[in-house]
Amino acid sequence: MMQAAWYERNGAARDVLVVGELPTPTPAAGQMRVRLYASGVNPSDVKSRMARPLGGPRIVPHSDGVGLIDAVGEGVSASRIGERVWTWNAQWQRPDGTSAQFVVLPSPQAVLLLVYDLAPADRQACLAQLSSMLSQGVLKHSIGAVFPLKDIVMAHETVEAGQTIGNVVLDIGH
């Protein structure tokens, strides 16, 4: 079983979003399963929840996410297991999105994230430079708010009300 958020009817976040346990999905042929660490809450997710006809009895919202491939179906190379990936359009025309601990999707929808390993001194210098650029206003981050999965209602309400500049992210945790 996995932790997930979902809705079974359209409406306001507070009225329809539920957080609980769902069965952990298994990838079919051509698919992979991603263990998610974060899920983006986009304005399109809010609009879908409010008015788009449901594509199944239950909708696990959100299209964007980041995580680690932990299982693959037939026809997908096992060498992809362990890759850090970004998922896109996970819930587009499908009932299962990224507001869950796991999502199963077609392999092209899990894009490899190139993460460069830096030596500790280089990492420290890089973070110091980024912090300096942020404080000077030269660089602006795009994460406006982070919420735990259990607070998905507040995350959706923040997006609905336009109360943040930047992206709203759910920390899926494990």
Q: What range does the domain containing 119 cover?
A: 2-171
**Could you report the per-residue pLDDT of 98-150, keeping only the tens digit for each?**
999 999 999 999 988 865 566 677 767 776 777 777 777 766 666 677 888 88
CA 155 from chain centre, in angstroms, equals 13
Provide the CATH number for the domain around residue 32.
3.90.180.10
Instruction: List, for residues 13-65, the tens digit of each pLDDT value.
Output: 999 999 999 999 999 999 999 999 989 888 889 999 999 999 899 999 999 99
* 77 burial type by CB count under 10 A (0-12 exposed, 13-18 middle, 19+ buried): exposed
Burial class (CB in 10 A: 0-12, 13-18, 19+), 164: middle
| CA end-to-end distance (rounded Å), the chain | 12
> In which residue are the tokens 């500790």 written?
120
pTM: 0.81
Compute how many other C-beta atoms are within 10 angstroms of the C-beta atom of residue 158: 19
> Which residues lie below 8 Å from residue 82, measured CB to CB, with a gap of 6+?
68, 69, 70
Q: How many domains does the chain have?
A: 1
